Chain A
Amino acid sequence: MTTKKVLIVDDEERIRELVQVCLEELGGWATLGAASGQEALQIAHTESIDVILLDVSMPDMDGFAVCEQLQANSVTQSIPVILLTAKVQPSDRARFAQMKIAGVITKPFEPLTISQNVAEILGWGD
């Protein structure tokens, strides 16, 4: 079985770095990082991605816009998306419920279990 490839989208460099470490070292997966929505869409089109971990609050193009773009394209619409976000208010949750996403992980996330959380959301068995 080939190892999973995760695309991490977050404008914060250190958070990207940390998520990548958690998923690589503790989850055993391969990761790619994107600092913006634009970059994320490019990578999603050219690489074979198993799941996208997507931040919501990003300048220029936010997570909502990225999701829309992913859905609008036949190449990318089947890639599962998990939001990784600091937006936790009821109004935010309501908005997330309207989106075609696999799940939401809130920040600050638990570093030692995030890869498990991702696997659980996506039903990736052991």
Chain B
Amino acid sequence: MAVHQDITDRKRIEDALRESEEKFRQLAENIQAVFWMTDLHNQQVLYVSKAYETIWQRSCQSVYQNFSDWLEAIYPDDRQRVDIAFMEQLRTGQSDTKYRIIRPDGSIRWIRDRAFPIKDELGEIIRIAGIAEDITELQKVEQIKSEFIGIVSHELRTPLTAIRAALGLLNSGIYDNKPDKFKRMIEIASIDSDRLVRLVNDILDLERLESGRSVLEKTTCEAADLIEQAVESVKAIAKQEHITLIQHPTNTKVWAAADAIIQTLTNLLSNAIKFSPPNSTITLSVQPQSDRVLFQISDRGRGIPADKLELIGIPADKLELIFGRFHQVDASDSRDKGGTGLGLAICRSIIEQHGGQIWAQSTLGVGSTFFFALPLPRK
């Protein structure tokens, strides 16, 4: 009787252990992170999960057989960082490192690798276990954020430069008895304060749009109404610059957030006006097509160089183009004309949230046409 009981107990324990190992194995094999385990002095990899093959694009077998294979995949500049992590592990069993790897196809990924000690009953570290994750996308976001902050810092400094200089000069008293010059300093401080306000608002607008906090409520709108309202808001400037606005609206309905599209049209119109020579015309038109409504704004300005042009048309899931290089398309060109440099980025963000596209064509010295397409209203 006793023997039978023993065997049953043992079998139960074995089953439980097998079940537990099976659960661990399923978890480890299915998660997108690499679970690994090495002996204390990192000479031998005891376990590495299947995800290694996806992330490193090398076989698990290769790591078991030859640890230096893994070491060689590390991006040379980051090798020192990894060596330091190893030393940490020898000391405390723990480390938290970010490093790049080079995959067989030449692509580079950022890895975050965290190690934990496994101790025996005496509290001695006998093994190191860890999780390695592909954080490439996260790193991209971090890079975009810091690029964005760099750009914002730069753009804010420019109007601040004028404000600081103008007020500093006034404060020094050199113009106390020169009312005209005094007034000019105040005028400058005033113009650049306004610019600073517009800049801050645009930055916040853009950030809200991109972060998804600004949800655009769409309804069925008359395209002609949207155009009319945008034209209204730029009429005065157009007149001042002796630029004629010609409209070719049609009776088309479109599925859109009215205010946002008016903002887009106003932005594009303002840009067109800024870069158009006096006494030229800007043409706006709307064309219903089979599956979308196409808006067009054409100017006779100096045109946009090809390398900047193609940045406008690139799909906007490339965030770096919104905040980074894309911004440079607009920034330096429109800054001197009182723009904030973020106008196009905002347009793009709005159009993207409508499920539409925005692009441009241009011939240097002749002019440019900006296009955007919006979906038709739902039936």
Whether B169 and A59, one on each chain, are in contact in the complex, defined by CB atoms closer than 8 angstroms, is no
Whether B168 and A12, one on each chain, are in contact in the complex, defined by CB atoms closer than 8 angstroms, is no
Whether A87 and B192, one on each chain, are in contact in the complex, defined by CB atoms closer than 8 angstroms, is no
State which residues 329-361 of B face A: CB under 8 Å.
Answer: 331-333, 335-336
Residue of A nearest to B163 (CB): A108
Whether A108 and B161, one on each chain, are in contact in the complex, defined by CB atoms closer than 8 angstroms, is yes
Whether A111 and B191, one on each chain, are in contact in the complex, defined by CB atoms closer than 8 angstroms, is no
Whether B153 and A14, one on each chain, are in contact in the complex, defined by CB atoms closer than 8 angstroms, is no
Whether B157 and A107, one on each chain, are in contact in the complex, defined by CB atoms closer than 8 angstroms, is yes
Given A15-B158, A15-B161, A89-B150, A110-B332 contact (CB < 8 Å): no
Q: Does A57 contact B (CB under 8 A)?
A: yes
Whether A88 and B332, one on each chain, are in contact in the complex, defined by CB atoms closer than 8 angstroms, is no
CB distance from A15 to the nearest CB of B (A): 6
Across the interface, B165 reaches (CB within 8 A) one of A13, A18, A58, A62, namely A18
Whether B169 and A18, one on each chain, are in contact in the complex, defined by CB atoms closer than 8 angstroms, is yes
State which residues 260-306 of B face A: CB under 8 Å.
Answer: none
Whether B332 and A109, one on each chain, are in contact in the complex, defined by CB atoms closer than 8 angstroms, is no
Scan A81-110; emit 1 where CB is below 8 A from any B CB, else 0.
Answer: 000001111000000000000000001111
Whether B158 and A13, one on each chain, are in contact in the complex, defined by CB atoms closer than 8 angstroms, is no
Q: Which residues of B contact A109 (CB under 8 A)?
A: 161, 164-165
Whether B336 and A59, one on each chain, are in contact in the complex, defined by CB atoms closer than 8 angstroms, is yes
Scan B183-203; emit 1 where CB is below 8 A from any A CB, else 0.
Answer: 000001001100000000000
Residues of B within 8 A of A (CB): 150, 153-155, 157-158, 160-166, 168-169, 172, 174, 188, 191-192, 331-333, 335-336
Q: Can you name 13 A-B pairs with beta carbons within 8 Å?
A: A14-B192, A17-B188, A18-B161, A18-B188, A59-B333, A86-B161, A107-B158, A108-B160, A108-B161, A108-B163, A108-B164, A109-B161, A112-B169
Residues of A within 8 A of B (CB): 11-15, 17-19, 21-22, 25-26, 57-59, 62, 86-89, 107-112
